[in-house]
Every structure is written in structure tokens, then in C-alpha cells.
């Protein structure tokens, strides 16, 4: 029996022939890193090891072995055929590293963006100055973006995607319900794995603020990550009050520390 596609974006015959991935959101043109310019396109565990060693930090990341990660990818996609929707809620919104056909604003009604991923392993924070990033968790709703990958590119693009998002334990790869232009569809995304010690759903607000303000690593700063998240949502007319409040508090923390 043939398996059905899990990406039911409303695409007309004329749209399917279009080559402009920003036709639905021209305001995002120039704000999404082209895939061939993204450092995440070629990320590997070996490169991360080299970069952390060069930074002088101790390596504390428990990487997924390649075969384990590939098995996780196979399991996530085993019921999928056709074009693939990928729901982005954090850095994927401005740097997806994906060769996508189009991008659409989307809403995940059963999940929310939460800054609960504590990074002390060198990415956007260290053991001396941890950082914090977003994870998708069960909740009251999350605005984000969906990138559509054409069927013949799904295998290649998801291999790249999983090398990035599933480089080490932190998330579960899951299909979730998202709403695009009033229509419900399924999208692949990465939700918080609460079994991991660095996923801290009960993190204190004071720690979130300090980590967002001071965390830095080989991928950049946590503050930059938070600023980009708020900025990308703002380009779509979306206000995430939690993210905006956290950003303002982190900026104030930095100003007070510098004074």
C-alpha cells in the first residue's frame, strides 16, 4: 500500500512551477541564509571536535554515532513520502541550511517555544558561562516558519538537517500538527527531550536572563541567537512575549554588568 505524503500545503499548479522560495513572504528575502553559504550545511562531529579543541574548551558533548543518528532519521521518516514540511522555531528560521522550495508562516497549536536548552558544552555557552537556546515543548502554541523540501531532495536535505539538530541527544524528531493559511498539515520538527540533563524545563528566570546575556561559544553568543529569533519573528509581524521579555532583560543585564 502506498504511503501518503505528510505535507499538505495548498500549492497550485502555477505555484509548483515557481522558483522563488520567498513568493509568500518577500519580506524574508535576504534574511534567510542561502543554503550554500551556511556553515551548518557541512557540519560534522569531527568539525565540532576541532572547533571546540581550538577554543580551548574541554569536549563534553556526547555525540550521537553516525549509525545511531541515521537510524533516528529512518525511524522519523518511515511513514513519509512526497514533499516534506520542516517547522522552524529557532535558528532554523534564519539559517535553515536547507535547499527549500518555499517558506511559509506556520502555527503549532499544541507546542510552544521555550528557552530551556542550557548550553554549557561549547556551542553558545561554556561550563564557566552557560548559554541558553530554544526548544519546542508541549504548550499553548508557537508561531514559526515551515520550509517545504521537494520530494526528490528529502533524503539529502534531512541527512544534513539531522547532522545538525541530532548531532547529540537533546531533541526528539517528531511530526507535529501545524496550521498554514488556515489549513492543518504535518511538519517534521525537533521537540525537547526531557531526559537530557541540559534540557531544563524548570529553569529559573534569573538563570535564563544571565545565560542569555553572557553565554558564548563556537556558534556565537546566546544573546545573538535570541536577538535573531525575536527579529525574524518581528519581520512576520509576530510578537513572542516570552522571547521579547527575555531579550530586554538580557540586554539590561549586560548594560548593568558593564556599568
Length of the chain counted residue by residue: 259
User: Cα(241)–Cα(224) distance, rounded to whole angstroms?
Assistant: 17
Q: Which three cell numbers stand for residue 16?
A: 509548483
> What pLDDT does 128 receive?
93
Interval 147-157 mean pLDDT: 98
Tell whether the torsion through CA atoms of 112, 155, 149 and 13 is positive or negative.
Answer: negative
The reported pTM is 0.90
Where exactly are the structural domains of the chain? 13-258
What pLDDT, on a 0 to 100 scale, did the predictor assign at position 8? 47
Name the CATH topology of 13-258.
Hypothetical upf0131 protein ytfp (3.10.490)
- Among candidates 107, 65, 95, 77, which has minimal Cα distance to 174? 77
Residues 97 and 163: their CA atoms lie apart, in Å, by: 11
In whole angstroms, give the CA distance from residue 142 to residue 157: 24
Residue 1, pLDDT score = 30
Summarised one tens digit per residue, pLDDT across range 171-188 is 999 999 999 999 999 999
pLDDT at 7: 56
Report pLDDT digits (tens) over 45-66.
999 999 999 998 888 899 999 9
More confident residue, 16 or 222: 222
Amino acid at each position: 500500500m502506498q504511503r501518503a505524503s505528510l505535507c499538505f500545503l495548498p500549492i497550485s499548479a502555477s505555484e509548483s512551477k515557481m522558483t522563488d522560495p520567498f513568493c509568500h513572504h518577500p519580506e524574508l528575502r535576504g534574511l534567510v541564509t542561502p543554503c550554500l553559504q551556511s556553515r551548518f550545511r557541512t557540519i560534522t562531529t569531527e568539525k565540532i571536535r576541532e572547533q571546540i579543541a581550538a577554543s580551548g574548551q574541554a569536549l563534553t558533548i556526547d555525540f550521537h554515532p553516525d549509525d545511531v543518528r541515521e537510524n533516528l532519521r529512518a525511524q522519523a521518516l518511515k511513514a513519509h513520502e512526497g514533499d516534506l514540511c520542516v517547522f522552524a522555531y529557532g535558528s532554523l528560521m534564519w539559517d535553515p541550511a536547507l535547499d527549500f522550495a518555499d517558506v511559509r508562516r506556520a502555527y503549532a497549536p499544541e507546542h510552544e517555544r521555550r528557552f530551556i536548552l542550557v548550553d554549557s558544552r561549547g556551542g553558545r555557552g561554556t561550563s564557566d558561562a552557560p548559554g541558553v537556546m530554544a526548544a519546542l515543548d508541549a504548550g499553548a502554541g508557537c508561531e514559526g516558519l515551515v520550509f517545504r523540501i521537494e520530494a526528490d531532495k528529502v533524503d539529502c536535505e534531512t541527512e544534513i538537517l539531522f547532522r545538525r539538530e541530532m548531532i547529540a541527544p537533546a531533541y526528539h524528531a517528531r511530526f507535529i500538527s501545524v496550521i498554514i493559511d488556515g489549513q492543518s498539515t504535518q511538519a517534521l520538527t525537533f521537540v525537547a527531550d526531557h531526559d537530557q540533563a541540559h534540557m531544563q524545563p524548570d529553569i529559573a528566570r534569573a538563570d535564563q536572563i544571565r545565560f542569555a546575556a553572557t553565554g558564548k561559544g563556537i556558534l556565537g553568543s546566546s544573546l545573538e541567537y535570541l536577538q535573531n529569533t525575536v527579529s525574524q519573528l518581528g519581520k512576520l509581524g509576530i510578537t513572542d512575549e516570552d522571547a521579547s521579555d527575555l531579550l530586554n532583560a538580557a540586554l539590561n543585564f549586560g548594560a548593568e554588568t558593564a556599568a
